[in-house]
Amino acid sequence: MEEDIIDISEQLQCSLCTAAMEENYIFCISCGYPEKGSEEEQTKFHAHRILNMRKSSDARQGITSARNILFIIAAINMLWGIFYFFQNSQDISLLIYFPILSVMYLVLGYWSQQKPLMALVLGLLVYLTVIVLGAIYEPESIISVSGLFLKSFVIIYLAKGINAALHIKKS
């Protein structure tokens, strides 16, 4: 009696992920493996699986790059604030604005380890806010070509990170 039960459960398992299967299933409903498909289909499935794995490791790489960008901006803001403080008549507000920004980027960077999607979206929006504030208060800051290049570089990397986080959330 006991042997019978074990026998049945062995028959109805997916050979790839060992999830339970029904008699009429052609594909495993848990991992999509073509259990009753041809050998060619099964090989194709394995190839796709490896491709997807690489995709998700690409996605993780995208998030890591975006996170590193946030850390770099945090460091630049902190140094910028201190540098300008000693350069420009020791205006104390420089020692407040830039460190606050720096801490924001730093916290969002760390947070992106747990909640990559939301942290990177907020990081991008903080960055866009700073650009807009710069454009409003110092219109000449937006025109510089190197600045424009750098800004689009940061925005593109953060956007790529958000996209990657969306892909990870999908799978």
Partner 1 sequence: MEDQSNPVQYCLHCSAPLPNTAKFCSQCGTAIAIPVDTRIQKSIYYIIAFYVAFLLLAIVSAVIFSNDISFFSEVLVEVIFIGMTLGFCALDWKAIVKLYLLSKVDAKGVLMTLLVPIASAFFVYYGIEWLNGVLEWYDENIYEEYIYYENALFWAILFTTIVPPIFEELAFRGFLFNEMRKVSSVQVTIIGTSFLFALVHFSLISFIWIFPFGLFLGYLRQRYNTLWLCMVAHFIHNFLVLMLDYINYSPEVF
Binding site for partner 1 (CB under 8 A): 21-22, 24-32, 34, 37, 92-93, 96-97, 100-101, 115, 117-118, 121-122, 124-126, 128-129, 132-133, 135-136, 162, 166, 169-170
31 vs 72, which CB is nearer to partner 1?
31
Supply the DSSP string of 98-114, one letter for each residue. Answer: HHHHHHHHHHHHHHTTT
Please report, as a single letter, which amino acid is at residue 145: V
Least Å distance between CB 169 and partner 1?
6
Least Å distance between CB 50 and partner 1?
16
28 vs 154, which CB is nearer to partner 1?
28
26 vs 150, which CB is nearer to partner 1?
26
Which of 8, 32, 28 shows the shortest CA–CA distance to 19? Answer: 28
Percent helix, strand and coil across the chain, each to the nearest 5: 75, 0, 25
Least Å distance between CB 25 and partner 1?
4
Which of 118, 114, 130, 117 shows the shortest CA–CA distance to 74? Answer: 130
